[in-house]
Structure 1
Amino acid sequence: MASEVGEAVPAGGAEEVKPYKIHVSSKYLDLTKQKLEVTRLPHEHELSEPKSQDWWEPKSRVEPLIDFWLEQYSWRTQEDLLNELPQFRTEFSVPSSEATVRIHFIHARSSHSNAIPLLLIPPFPFSTLSFGHLIKLLTDPEDAAKNQPFHLVMPSLPGLGFSDALPNNTPVISSTAEILNSLMGRLSYPHYVVTNASSGAASPAEIDFHLVNHLVTYYMSSCLGAHLISPPLSQPKLQEAPIEWAKWSIASLLHAPILGYHSEDFSALERSGYVRPSKKSPTPTQFGLNQLGLREPNTLAYALCDSPTGLLVFVMKSLRILSPKRKEKFTPTELINFTELAWLPGPEAAMRFWAHCVRHPEPVEKKTPIKPKVGITVFLGDEPGTDTIAEVERSAEASAGAEVETDTATMTQDEAKDSYTCPSWANAKYNVLYTHRASGKSGLLAWERPELIAAGIREVAASIARSDSRLRPSTTPTVAPLERVVVHSDTADEQTPTAPTRPAPAFLAPPSGEERGHPIREISEETAVGSSENVAGKTPSPGPKAPSPAHLAPPTDERTHPRREASDDTAVEQPANE
């Protein structure tokens, strides 16, 4: 609860917002290479057929990716691209302990005078740096008169990317929500709206949903509205909302599109496995990454912290669960970027965040006479096709045009389904301003259909602004131009002013490992992940400039010591135009 956390306050004063640059120690990159070179993969059945219907067999995809990682991928190229994003970090104290937590975030101010502050919660457990492609969509739309622009703030949640982990035994949802609300105030945004960027029901431990729900419920004086995507809501209950319960009871009994319910709702519920309450029905926690069932994080953390290959397979499996029928496959560079994002700082803090939410849920108990204002986007799950899927990850051979084996293993029933929430169910707890029933499944929404995120939060903001003057654009806060900020280089003694930052519009902008303020374990100088940060008074980020139209540049690497002799059928070639 917010009351348990108290108020997160600036540890170093209200002026301490620091521009942030990524720099990973070369020794740490060398250590990664050494671990890749001694990778031992599990044995798989020699016969390719029949495929298992109980688990996937990823060896034919993992092996080429390891070779690609060793021989062609360049972290330095990706690091330079990421440093074009407007990154900052600032520090908060956690009242429930004596520790301080540094939060890393992207802050892109719109150049449009009618822009509204927006807090975007990145899908857990991704770092905010994976979503650079959303910046232009939200801050600089093609028609700002029709499409509401935003001043965009995208934080890395505590323990992810370059944000410090919360202290042990801290209530993570309420603490994180308090920190994020304080962050918006520190950036001179006393009033703002918030949105998810992925399905709340499919999020691990429903973290994405709970964070946004906590903000819009406990901080109604500052967080004026929220866009909920596939929220894990249940049908209205007689004791809590008798009117909404009666509406649902009548509509469901007649199976009729009345009283706010649509015919699409009933068909979508059937597809998701919903049955009448007299029978046991699937719960949201049975879908998405929740099915991994993480409750004790350290056992798996020790394995993943020591094995970049193990972490790569974990990433591939997660993407497979979230979007099993994805048509536009991630390239080898993008898959490894995802993995580096977790590998360089270490995945253990994110796993502990996840496990804490599973073991210590924080129900929202606050009841107010005014319902929070929200918009809701749900997915009908009505795309045609069977549960048999094509491979999710593009192997390195595929990117070079070689023929590869297609994974036609049958997905399990849980992997193939999405949870469904009737938008009208939300009337029991929220003032619903906007609803949208989108076709298909939520999938990897931020990459596959980011326009749905933008459309939902724009409708919420427009509806609130019509009746609440607090959300209408006001005088632009005073900011220090980034050209005046001096960044201390860790490779030279002189100080050089940074060029103005601009968002990289890459399809995937993955994060890299950086120094953590309070590492879980002692990190030697040989493996430390470093960064450059600086402060020149209070420096909220400027508006983004026109982004480059190119996708992430293909990585280059001069490594000449492959892990093993690559056979002709697993060798990876990187196309010149990837």
Structure 2
Amino acid sequence: MEIYMSAALEATTIRPFTFEFPDSELEELRRRILATRWPEKETVADQSQGTQLATIKELARYWAEEYDWRKVEARLKAVPHFITEIDGLDIHFIHVRSKHENALPLIVTHGWPGSIIEQLKLIEPLTDPEAHGGSAEDAFHVVIPSMPGYGFSGKPTSTGWNPDRMARAWGELMKRLGYTKYAAQGGDWGAIVTDLMGVQEPEGLVGIHTNMAGVVPPAIEAAIAAGNPLPSDAVLANDEEKAAVGQLNFVYRHVAYAYMMGSRPQSLTAFADSPVGLAAFMLDHDRDSLDLISRAFAGQNEGLTRDDVLDNITLFWLTNTGVSASRLYWENTVASIPFFGVKGVKLPVAVSVFPDELYQAPKSWAEQAYPNLIHYNRLPKGGHFAAWEQTELFVNEVRTGLRSLR
């Protein structure tokens, strides 16, 4: 019994985490890239058939000939990493405390096809605001976990790790870190996990910030997701709501990747075998992001660089998490948690709306969905990967949106 208790306590303690990828793994990655068997060119002149051959060929060329993983690896190793077992699974996280002791703790959650790579740019401006256009009063202690099945976190070996369970795990993580007052932030899946934290109201959580707000009225989202007409009693009160319905109709008709991962993730075994196959799939998340990334590989940097994109994809490849990360979609299909719908958050909520997000959440819907809406702002530029792409705008939104909760 004493041995068992000792092992259990050791598992649930917070332990430093280190990682190392030998040159042999990077050489094998390069070999596989160079050995890619290519399909023929798409039969259309646009991206309506998916990631275009010219884009993925240029990505592969740059990946094999010029890209240097060791650069981002050095950035990753420059911040403290930890791991702890929560609910039977190892959870990895970055934890950087600000030098300002009165800083507000903040847990930031990534999505798919993202990872902790998305949030690396946030760490310094959030923890050291004085060096990045802010004041000491804007400081945050930052916690960035890897979702189960992603990056350095454990890969679930049984079902049940849906966003609701992740939200509970994040509450436990912040408790273990000793934070008695903190906020949460998220985009993509991270926005859903963060909304659910707001619903669960773990001890210490004082409010949330989201850049993919869950505000769509349930009947409207259900109709759009099913491809049905809106309910006869659904009233679209203004142009923002009408535009949002149009955007959501487009999204639900053009998310083949989500339907595949939500129903047959294990059939994506090629993700573990072909780095270029993994990359082509990950690039095709949404129209605007694919356009942005395609321009980057054509030589136009507009927020995301070629290295940014490959830093993230390479982490997926080196940790072999293409399939394990995909299962989150399957888990959520089983759990039936709406992507964009109202979850029932009563805590204070700050909403930032970026113009190239999957849909632009109308203020009227945000006010209904979040009865304690403390901040709403529409930004001039930025898309689905806002923290990664428009870091300065994003950081300012987090500072402003959560300022009243300090």
Task: Bin the TM-score by the shorter chain.
Answer: 0.7 to 0.9
Match of 1:269 in 2: 241
Give distance in 1, aligned partners of 2:383 and 2:44.
30
Superposition map of 1:52-63 within 5 A: 52=46, 54-56=48-50, 58-63=52-57
**Does structure 2 conserve the Cα–Cα contact (< 8 Å) formed by 1:103 and 1:155?**
yes
AA of the residue aligned to 1:34: R
Match of 2:279 in 1: 312
User: Of residues 127, 143, 156 in structure 1, which corresponds to 2:115?
Assistant: 127
Match of 1:219 in 2: 201
| Match status 1:208 vs 2:190 | yes
AA of the residue aligned to 2:263: E
Give distance in 2, aligned partners of 1:131 and 1:365.
26
CA offset at residue 307 of structure 1? 0.4
1:288 and 1:152, CA in 2 relative to 1: closer, same or farther beyond 3 A? farther
Match of 1:427 in 2: 367
Superposition map of 1:80-95 within 5 A: 80-92=74-86, 94=87
Which one scores higher on RCO, CA 8 angstroms, separation ≥ 6?
Answer: 1
Give distance in 2, aligned partners of 1:436 and 1:318.
24
AA of the residue aligned to 2:213: P
Give distance in 2, aligned partners of 1:376 and 1:76.
36
AA of the residue aligned to 2:9: G
The CA deviation string for residues 301-331 of structure 1, in whole angstroms up to 9 with x for no partner, is 2111110110121233237543634762544
User: Of residues 289, 312, 323 in structure 2, which corresponds to 1:322?
Assistant: 289
| Match status 1:114 vs 2:102 | yes
**Does structure 2 conserve the Cα–Cα contact (< 8 Å) formed by 1:166 and 1:172?**
no
**Does structure 1 conserve the Cα–Cα contact (< 8 Å) formed by 2:207 and 2:348?**
yes
| Match status 1:229 vs 2:211 | yes
Give distance in 2, aligned partners of 1:194 and 1:115.
14
User: Of residues 321, 331, 335 in structure 2, which corresponds to 1:360?
Assistant: 335
1:433 and 1:40, CA in 2 relative to 1: closer, same or farther beyond 3 A? same
User: Of residues 447, 472, 486 in structure 1, which corresponds to 2:388?
Assistant: 447
Give distance in 1, aligned partners of 2:151 and 2:127.
23
Match of 2:353 in 1: 378
Give distance in 2, aligned partners of 1:353 and 1:50.
32
Match of 1:180 in 2: 170
Match of 1:551 in 2: none
Give distance in 2, aligned partners of 1:380 and 1:68.
30
Match of 1:19 in 2: 16
User: Of residues 16, 25, 28 in structure 1, which corresponds to 2:25?
Assistant: 28
Give distance in 1, aligned partners of 2:71 and 2:396.
33
Give distance in 2, aligned partners of 1:429 and 1:273.
16
The CA deviation string for residues 495-539 of structure 1, in whole angstroms up to 9 with x for no partner, is xxxxxxxxxxxxxxxxxxxxxxxxxxxxxxxxxxxxxxxxxxxxx
Give distance in 1, aligned partners of 2:47 and 2:61.
28
**Does structure 1 conserve the Cα–Cα contact (< 8 Å) formed by 2:14 and 2:82?**
yes
1:78 and 1:298, CA in 2 relative to 1: closer, same or farther beyond 3 A? same
Q: Which has the larger radius of gyration?
A: 1
Give distance in 1, aligned partners of 2:397 and 2:55.
36
AA of the residue aligned to 1:109: R
Superposition map of 1:283-298 within 5 A: 285-286=252-253, 294-298=261-265
Give distance in 1, aligned partners of 2:381 and 2:117.
27
Match of 1:391 in 2: none
**Does structure 1 conserve the Cα–Cα contact (< 8 Å) formed by 2:196 and 2:343?**
no
SS in 2 for 1:153: strand
Give distance in 2, aligned partners of 1:79 and 1:146.
29
Give distance in 2, aligned partners of 1:236 and 1:58.
35
Match of 1:463 in 2: 404
Match of 2:142 in 1: 152
CA offset at residue 340 of structure 1? 1.0
Structure 1, 175-184 or 285-294: larger mean CA deviation:
285-294
Structure 1, 440-449 or 174-183: larger mean CA deviation:
440-449
User: Of residues 41, 56, 61 in structure 1, which corresponds to 2:38?
Assistant: 41
Give distance in 2, aligned partners of 1:462 and 1:287.
37
CA offset at residue 164 of structure 1? 0.5
**TM-score (ref. length: structure 1):** 0.57
**Does structure 2 conserve the Cα–Cα contact (< 8 Å) formed by 1:377 and 1:436?**
yes
Give distance in 1, aligned partners of 2:350 and 2:342.
21
Match of 2:60 in 1: 66
Match of 1:338 in 2: 312
1:287 and 1:28, CA in 2 relative to 1: closer, same or farther beyond 3 A? same
1:88 and 1:32, CA in 2 relative to 1: closer, same or farther beyond 3 A? same
* Greater fraction helix: 2
Match of 2:3 in 1: none
The CA deviation string for residues 339-368 of structure 1, in whole angstroms up to 9 with x for no partner, is 21111111111001122213432479997x
Give distance in 2, aligned partners of 1:298 and 1:161.
17
Match of 2:4 in 1: none
Give distance in 1, aligned partners of 2:240 and 2:290.
18
Give distance in 1, aligned partners of 2:266 and 2:292.
31
Match of 2:270 in 1: 303
The CA deviation string for residues 23-42 of structure 1, in whole angstroms up to 9 with x for no partner, is 01444334323322321000
Give distance in 2, aligned partners of 1:51 and 1:366.
40
| Structure 2: runs of 5+ lacking an equivalent | 1-6, 220-234, 294-299
Match of 1:194 in 2: 184
1:287 and 1:105, CA in 2 relative to 1: closer, same or farther beyond 3 A? farther
Q: Aligned residues: percent identity?
A: 26
**Does structure 1 conserve the Cα–Cα contact (< 8 Å) formed by 2:258 and 2:329?**
no
The CA deviation string for residues 79-117 of structure 1, in whole angstroms up to 9 with x for no partner, is 33321122221222x2xxxxx211111111001132111
1:125 and 1:195, CA in 2 relative to 1: closer, same or farther beyond 3 A? same
| Structure 1: runs of 5+ lacking an equivalent | 1-9, 95-99, 238-251, 256-265, 276-280, 382-416, 466-578
CA offset at residue 283 of structure 1? 8.0
**Does structure 2 conserve the Cα–Cα contact (< 8 Å) formed by 1:297 and 1:348?**
no
Superposition map of 1:488-507 within 5 A: none
1:432 and 1:67, CA in 2 relative to 1: closer, same or farther beyond 3 A? closer
Match of 2:227 in 1: none
The CA deviation string for residues 17-63 of structure 1, in whole angstroms up to 9 with x for no partner, is 22222201444334323322321000226xxx972563256322333
AA of the residue aligned to 1:371: K
